[in-house]
Amino acid sequence: MSTAPAEPRKRKSADVRRQEIVTAAIEHFAVGGYAATSTEAIAKDAGISQPYLFRLFRTKRELFLACHELSHARIRDTFREAAAAAAPEARLEAMGKAYAALLDDRVMLRFQMHSYAAAADPDIRAQVRARYGELIQEVRRLSGAAPEELWRFFGSGMLVNVIASLDMPTVGDVEEWVAVWERT
């Protein structure tokens, strides 16, 4: 009986490993936030050692910021795709509907909410603030919306984040105040 030689294991590139780590990290940060998340647990879930994690991301903060970049790009790209598919006068509404569809991904929603909470760290605050500002400018560019329309759009978006985070639609039949909001 002949056995074929085992295929040599291919080493993953640093870029592939970075993506795997970011994917694992988002799940951990979504549950524990920035402060309570263990890089050791992230490394274990990514199938690497903690020292290797720190070779690819020098600090936990750097890893969190990489996760935030992915989260931001996801929202930005969703807005761009929605605007491209809509008539100019319907772009803002199309972007809102497309954003609402993103809220089904509870992990990414919770991570996004934790990114605002992590703004106590000055470096995280600077990046989150900058990306939020870029998102506002991108929506303005894509929609042509006036400042007061942008204010309502992003204010409503934050309220929708809270509603989705609290899973309020699932309790509308037992919580009267939720049912009233759902009707408005």
Average pLDDT estimate for 14-39: 96
In this model, does residue 145 exceed pLDDT 90?
yes
The pTM of the full predicted model, rounded to 2 decimals, is 0.88
Mean pLDDT taken over the chain: 91
> What secondary structure does DSSP assign to the chain, as a single string?
---PPPPPPPPPPHHHHHHHHHHHHHHHHHHHHHHH--HHHHHHHHTS-HHHHHHHSSSHHHHHHHHHHHHHHHHHHHHHHHHHTS-GGGHHHHHHHHHHHHTT-HHHHHHHHHHHHGGGSHHHHHHHHHHHHHHHHHHHHHH---HHHHHHHHHHHHHHHHHHHTTGGGGTTT-HHHHHHHH-
Average pLDDT estimate for 43-60: 96
